[in-house]
Amino acid sequence: MKKLLLLLTIFLAAVAQAGTYTPSSVPNPKNQGQDFYLSNPDGIISEEYETYINDLSKDLYAKTLVEIATVALESIGDMDAFDFSYELFQRWGIGGKGKNTGVLVLFVMESHDIRIMTGTGIEGVLTDAVCSQIIRTQMVPWFRDGEYEKGLLAGLGAIYQTCTDDDVPEELQSVVSVTNRGQYAEEDNEDEEEPSWLPWPVIIAILLGILILNYFASIKRCPKCNKKKARRTSAQTLVHATYSHGGQEKVTYTCKHCGHVFTVIENTPKLRDSSSSSSGGGYRSGGHSSGGSWGGGSTSGGGAGSKW
């Protein structure tokens, strides 16, 4: 009976801890590949919205080299959301090394915490006041209605808008030098007119456009019927890409018009150069050899947080 009670106690403790994370136990999305930016281990975000978030984050990085890590967790136990965000940001090294244009968006279901933490190189664009306004006006209203996915996507859309707006200093667009951003910070003035973010339908239209472009890019012309109806159905890696050269994969296509199946050898791009061995704050970013990595950036704790 004592053994049974002990096993039951261990089991209940394990159940209670399920879904509770520490900064060291949060799954790093870069382990899946370089184009993944969302950590969603508890399935809070649906697959559809996972795609939206990863595509938006990938597009922002391509335009500005701003890296957004979005983390949606069930629980972080008794740990403070600020301390959790700070340690996770430094552990992963979000944002380019030396440029520090990283952003971490942390969502915690149990404690109703939402926090945006910024790298030191982007604090002049995503100021504490701007981050607070994004949370207050774009995210919290959705969260209070139980629409967590829409709230996260609306907040990310507002971050995207801020980082790519014409008013953003030119060097953020080219990332020639985006350190010491404080000189561009606006004076804190709560009476200033609030910036107007992209309306929700426009955000959806942008995301749908990205998905449609990706869809048509995956279609090939069938060599048998000559119609552009062949879609990618599977792929086998032949040569893994590295930081010095690209790779190759054997891709199988199936024609939706005539049913013809054929294979094509395609090149894959080399991995983006990053500093996975030296993350900010003394932490190392995790990852497998087949995955990717963050850029090695750091934060001084800028941003904002709230509860809903």
How would residue 171 be classed by pLDDT, with cut points 50, 70 and 90? very low
Does a structural domain hold residue 77? yes
Same domain? For 94 and 123 the reply is: yes
The yes-or-no verdict on residue 165 having pLDDT over 70 is yes
Same domain? For 30 and 159 the reply is: yes
Selection from 190, 262, 201 nearest residue 231 by Cα: 262
Same domain? For 30 and 80 the reply is: yes
Mean pLDDT, the chain, whole residue set: 78
Domain containing residue 24: CATH number:
3.10.310.50
Does a structural domain hold residue 232? yes
pTM of the model: 0.59
**Digit-coded pLDDT (tens) for 109-163:** 999 999 999 999 999 899 999 999 999 999 999 999 999 999 999 999 999 989 8
| Domain around 24 | 19-186+195-208
Same domain? For 101 and 243 the reply is: no
**Which pLDDT score, from 0 to 100, does residue 170 have?**
52
Selection from 95, 84, 105, 98 nearest residue 38 by Cα: 105
Say if residues 295 and 93 touch (Cβ distance below 8 Å). Answer: yes
Does a structural domain hold residue 87? yes
**Digit-coded pLDDT (tens) for 262-303:** 887 777 776 654 433 333 333 333 333 346 789 899 999 999
The yes-or-no verdict on residue 50 having pLDDT over 90 is yes
Does a structural domain hold residue 178? yes
**Which pLDDT score, from 0 to 100, does residue 202 have?**
72
Q: How many independent structural domains does the chain possess?
A: 2
Does a structural domain hold residue 156? yes
Same domain? For 42 and 181 the reply is: yes
Sheet arrangement for strand 219-220: 219-220, 230-239, 247-255, 261-268
Does a structural domain hold residue 84? yes
Does a structural domain hold residue 48? yes
Same domain? For 169 and 253 the reply is: no
Same domain? For 75 and 177 the reply is: yes
- Distant-in-sequence contacts of 52-59, Cβ < 8 A, 24+ apart: 52/153, 52/207, 52/211, 53/152, 53/153, 53/156, 55/207, 55/210, 55/211, 55/214, 56/153, 56/156, 56/157, 56/160, 56/206, 56/207, 56/210, 57/156, 59/160, 59/210
Same domain? For 57 and 148 the reply is: yes
Does a structural domain hold residue 292? no
Same domain? For 84 and 228 the reply is: no
**Which pLDDT score, from 0 to 100, does residue 241 have?**
63
Same domain? For 251 and 111 the reply is: no
Same domain? For 115 and 242 the reply is: no
Same domain? For 69 and 176 the reply is: yes
Strand locations in the chain (E)? 38-39, 67-73, 102-108, 113-119, 219-220, 230-239, 247-255, 261-268, 299-307
